[in-house]
Amino acid sequence: MTPAELSELIRTQLLAAIDAGEITLDASDVPDQVKVERPRQREHGDWATNIAMQLAKKASTNPRALAQVLADRLTGATGIDAVEIAGPGFINIRLAAGAAGELARSIIEAGENFGRSDALAGERINLEYISANPTGPLHIGHTRWAAVGDALVRVLRAAGAEVSPEYYINDAGNQMNTFGASVLARAKGEEIPEDGYPGEYIDDLAKQALEQRPDLVDLPNDEAIALARELGYAAQLQQIKDTLADFNVEFDVWFSEKANLHDTSAIAEAIDRLREQGNVYDDGGAVWLRTTDYGDDKDRVLVKADGSYTYFAADCAYYLSKRDRGFSEKIYLFGADHHGYVGRMKAVAACAGDDMDKNIEILIGQFINISGGRMGKRLGNVINLHDLIEWIGTDALRYTLARYPTDTTLDLKAEDLQQQNNDNPVYYVQYAHARTRNVARNAAEQGVRREDAFDASLLTDESESNLLGMLAEYPRVVALAAENREVHRIARYLEDLASAYHTWYGRCRVTPRGDEAVDDTHRTRLWLNDAVTQVLRNGLDILGVSAPDRM
């Protein structure tokens, strides 16, 4: 019996009690899903619900009395072993061994769909993260959002949402001309301009530019800078895409600020639309957006007195672009230095006619620092993501960065991330998966086959009960991670599941000892072993981390 099935059973019994006149309650007061959770203390049962405490006041009774009605109805129901009332009205439920063990078969039958739900079905979400200037490689500052952003895309999709991950290319503005001048200078063998971009990568871009256009250095200066900018931009953007692919990160949309906003009438049209909403005014020769009406600390300039657009004007046009593309919710993942953007961007949503509490969400990620003996090839004084991947590895980086809440600052040691022992969380979880596959291989060699038998009532060891309970938690963890935008819940769950599996592995054998014959207990335990395989694999996939068969 899965938590969802138990929830439905409790709901059904509640409705039946109402029909029978045992509870004075309107059927509409019964929630569509009754919440069930694992008790903090295992001896209290497999599952617990506080539904009686939630509904007692509406039923004009006390929680324990309502709980007793439910307990009487649940006792003896198929799959229920025992029901107890605790404290002010908690209902603790212990499943029959067979009902609990059926979960193993359910997981294997569901496969990669186990844990997926329609909790967020119907939501169309645009998720923007990283959004780096294409003037250099991605660096350590982008790494956290690359890992967390992609994992968040995956967990939202697992919860049924339609998600479009988007990369905003900051390819407009004077920094692109400075970039072009830097590439041209190195192509000519000259020093980088004083305000230019340093780093060995500029030398590489200059070399590629010359390979495509050997005449680059012979062109008039303005024309040469424009061409160097174009060639360098294309090469650098492709390098960014390649690095993200190596990091298991994919974007549906690469949105060019220059092509989609500045080279079109999008910004002017956005200002006109915001004016029609009554939120734009003119003052001192400039054009302003009245964001203070929606909680911002000051109104924001859209068009300067000289007629030029501000960066904020482009931000407004970009928001409206997402709105026009049909995204009911826009999620922005910003770095720690972007706290000031929260109020103004929420105000933009309100000025556009959206609900600033529902249609836009801004997550702020704190800084990370990774130290160690090898600091990698330098980009100026910053470590780039490509070298981090070569140095530490995609799996270790992605898992570790997704493992912590994003509002915490991280100081990590590369040596810790590279350890091949149980002190390294990613190794611990991956090793558990590899161990499940080794158990399956040994079982095949000794003739233990799942298809020959499955008797859930044989899974009676305490470690099996604990392991089944952990497996049952997975769908709820995924749903909570999606709802709260907290992918670290997945990682911490996987570590708990790995721990429960390692304990079970030490107590219960899937293969017979010596001359012992293969029996249905071995076969049924293989189902449980393979169910753990599936859940570990599903969880690691959400984090964008591999599930190795051997280690």
Segment 64-95, tens digit of pLDDT: 999 999 999 999 888 888 999 999 999 999 88
Question: For residue 482, what pLDDT is reported?
Answer: 97
Which pLDDT score, from 0 to 100, does residue 372 have?
A: 55
- Mean pLDDT for 447-475 is 93
Superfamily for domain range 421-542? Isoleucyl-tRNA Synthetase; Domain 1 (1.10.730.10)
Q: Give the Cα separation of 444 and 399 in Å (integer).
A: 31
User: Which pTM value belongs to this model?
Assistant: 0.87
Torsion sign over Cα 4, 544, 481, 345: negative
Does 331 score more than 90 pLDDT?
Answer: yes
User: At the top level of CATH, which class does the domain 129-258+366-418 belong to?
Assistant: alpha beta
- Domain borders along the chain are 3-95, 129-258+366-418, 421-542
Rg (CA), the chain: 29
Task: Give, for 360, the enclosing helix (H) or strand (E).
Answer: strand 360-365
Share of the chain above pLDDT 70, in %: 98
User: In this structure, what token pair is assigned to residue 171?
Assistant: 């390819």
Task: Report pLDDT for 382.
Answer: 63
Mean of pLDDT values over 84-112 = 90
- Domain 3-95, second-level architecture: 2-Layer Sandwich (3.30)
**CA dihedral sign of residues 237, 240, 246, 251:** negative
Mean pLDDT of 477-500: 96
The tokens describing 250, both together, are 């994919």
Judge whether residue 199 has pLDDT over 80: yes
Least-confidence region, from 106-115, 252-261, 412-421? 412-421
Checking if the pLDDT of 351 tops 50, the result is: yes
Structure tokens at 406: 């994003």
Own/partner pairs, 208-216, CB within 8 angstroms, 24+ separation: 208/232, 208/235, 209/183, 209/235, 216/184, 216/187
Note whether 3-95 and 129-258+366-418 share their fold.
Answer: no
pLDDT interval class at 380 (50, 70, 90): very low
Give me the pLDDT at residue 387, please. Answer: 84
Average pLDDT, the chain: 91
Do 94 and 455 touch, CB atoms closer than 8 A?
Answer: no
Residue 149's pLDDT band, with cuts at 50, 70 and 90, is very high
For the chain, percent of residues with pLDDT exceeding 90: 76
Tokens standing for 475?
Answer: 């769908």
